[in-house]
Amino acid sequence: MQEERWLGTLVGDTGGLRVNVALRDSFSARRGEFVRVRHRERRDTHETWVLGRITGVSRQNMLFTQQMGEGVAEVSLLTSRSTGETNYAGMELVGYRDPDTGEVRIPRRPLEPGAKVYGVDFAFLREFYEYSPETNIQLGNLVGYERGDNIVPVYIDVNRIVTEHLAVLAMTGAGKSYTIGRIIERMLTESNASIVVLDPHGEYGRAFRGGMLNFAPDSTYAALPEQEADGLRALGAKLRELQDRGGGIHVYAPRTREFSLRYNDQHHPLALRLDEMSADELASVFPESTEPQQRFLQVALRYWEKKFPSPREPRDLLDLCGRNLDALTTWDELPDNERKTISARSASIVALRLRNLLTDANAFYERGLHPFDVRQMIGRARKTAPADSVGRISIIDLQGLSRTSMQVVVALLCGEILRAAQDTSDPIRPVFLIIEEGHTFAPAREASISLPIIKKIFAEGRKFGVGAAIVSQRPSKLDSDVTSQANTIIAMRIKNPDDQAFIRSTSDYFSEVDIKELPSLSTGEALVSGRAILAPLLVKVGQKVLIHGGESPDVVRSWKE
């Protein structure tokens, strides 16, 4: 190691995860930079480098203190301004690479007091964060090493984020949906993945507006290194190839004229089977119902299931609440005590709520339509057609639906996915489920139709090849049972103290220093920690290929036009 790269010396207690460094001068280190120090873990092992990250820097001068009073502003030094100056840095340990397993480990033996601390170059970092190209995708580049010749790419393990789940948390405008877009594009083209995106605001659907792939203009690559730009163009070519083979990007949406125009009738109209929900699940769709209304609904559901062949049409259930009410009251299998509970008033209220749901969603099966086929959307594990083994991103555009309707659609979809994954006779391909606006579907401290199935997926889905990512701008409003199952977290700019406290309480992947850094992150910067990455890293998320609809509009330009 060249002497000019010596930055400072370890001082004080060196046995913790955060140690102090006496710096040579104020230019030696900056907050966020990586440094390294020599360390021997055992008597019988060789020295190795321990990587650390500068988490804070202090600079004081004994001649310029508050104790000097008002005259301090008029002090004129006859010597160098560095006279009487002390510079210290806090260093958080990242760890060392185990020579046998390649894993990053935190030292259990204290570092050597007085050991010299050195800077690192990009070559060291690239070697330290080496990856397996078979299972990893590039999220972006290390902040501080993302430009010029000293680029350090950062990779995340696809197997880890799918089988052990992911949470992406950030305030509005920080880039969380863009980050997800980057991840799923890479998963699709490099891993041939099957991905389902629950899209409440139609952001992801913009990539398929007009019924065709919409790529970012080539001008967006102008500022990128030539090799990176060429890689993005190759990724775009791969997307076109997948699309031609029956995979690529597919959009599913309610049956309305708006969606037909938006996607030029090249999307898949939703025809979900409401009869796939259990009686208890359907009853939960109307949680404000009175006990007589709930009892009536239970009777109507039993009759609907008994008398109508599968797939059952919700309109038939609606008729049982109105013009075919006599069929219930005269049903010979109905006990007298239940017959007495049936009232026209309860039936009319249930009918009104059911009609509102069907009209608002426009996403349920009707005669003449092909019922929704989850295997067609995701693909089969046992190939029966050429497209079964082709990767695809299936976007479920739910823009414009009410909160209740969205929750019902999501509950049905997630239930279908989990059942198909558990079906040993005809299972689906492993699938990665993206739950955007997670606080809508898995909220804390309030009832939600979709919450039980989402909790089940996060708790049990990995056993059946169903992974999930929960995405939210309000982490503190998420169900903690869901987020606690996310073993990798991507946190972007978060300023709300409640949201910061929630991350601190539900995840042990972030240190207090990391939490304090979240409010100052720039758009597109992310702190990544957890099982899918070797060690916590601050990443500048890379460029996407497809157009994304999450960006804020240029309102001034729109006004002027």
Q: Any idea what the CATH number is for the domain that residue 480 is in?
A: 3.40.50.300
Read off φ and ψ for residue 412, nearest 5 degrees.
-65, -50
Tell whether 282 and 316 lie within a shared domain. Answer: yes
Residues 471 and 526 in one domain: yes
Is the distance from CB of 463 to CB of 409 less than 8 angstroms? no
Instruction: Determine, yes or no, domain membership for 264.
Output: no
**Given 361, 396, 417, which residue is the final one in a domain?**
361
* Pair (317, 401) in one structural domain: no
One domain, residues 409 and 522 = yes
- Would you say residue 112 lies in a domain? yes
Report yes or no: 461 and 421 within 8 Å, Cβ to Cβ.
yes
Q: How many domains does the chain have?
A: 3
Task: pLDDT band for 172, please (50, 70, 90 cuts).
Answer: confident
Distance from C-alpha of 473 to C-alpha of 170, rounded to nearest angstrom: 5
130, part of any domain: no
For every residue of 404-465, DSSP letters joined together read: HHHHHHHHHHHHHHHHHHH-SSSPBPPEEEEESSHHHHSBSSS--SSHHHHHHHHHHGGGGT
What backbone torsions phi and psi does residue 527 show, to the nearest 5 degrees? -95, 115
pTM (2 d.p.): 0.87
CA 406 to chain centre: 19
Distance CA 90, CA 20 (A): 5
Shared-domain flag, residues 408 and 471: yes
- Residue 86 domain-assigned? yes
- Structure confidence at residue 126 (pLDDT): 79
Structure tokens that stand for 547 in this block: 């157009």
Using one digit for the tens of pLDDT, what is the confidence trace for 3-58? 457 999 999 999 998 999 999 998 898 887 889 999 999 988 889 999 998 888 99
Inter-axis angle of helices 344-361 and 403-422, to 10 degrees? 80
Contact 378, 417 (CB under 8 A): yes
Same domain, 426 and 342: no
Residue 368 resides in a domain: no
Are 404 and 508 contained in the same domain?
yes
List pLDDT tens digits, range 401-451.
999 999 999 999 999 999 999 999 999 999 999 999 999 999 998 889 999
With both helix axes pointing from N to C terminus, report the angle between 344-361 and 291-307 in degrees, rounded to the nearest 10.
70
Q: Is residue 489 part of a domain?
A: yes
Cβ distance 57 to 23 under 8 Å?
Answer: yes
For residue 69, pLDDT beyond 60: no
Note whether 494 and 528 are same-domain residues: yes
Q: Based on the domain organization, do 343 and 393 belong to the same domain?
A: no
Same domain, 545 and 445: yes
Quickly state the pLDDT bin for 2 (edges 50, 70, 90): very low
Integer Cα distance of 365 and 308 in angstroms: 14
Model confidence pLDDT, tens digit, residues 124-146: 887 887 777 778 999 998 887 77
pLDDT at 78: 45
Range of the domain at 21: 3-72+80-120
Which residue, 147, 145, 165, is CA-closest to 156? Answer: 165
| Model pLDDT for residues 305-358, shown as the tens digit of each residue | 999 999 999 999 999 998 899 999 899 988 888 888 888 999 999 999 899 999
pLDDT higher at 64 or 337 = 337
Residues 400 and 332 both lie in one domain? no
Same domain assignment for residues 181 and 216: yes
In a domain, 224, yes or no: yes
Any domain includes 125 = no
Q: Are 49 and 34 in contact (CB under 8 A)?
A: no
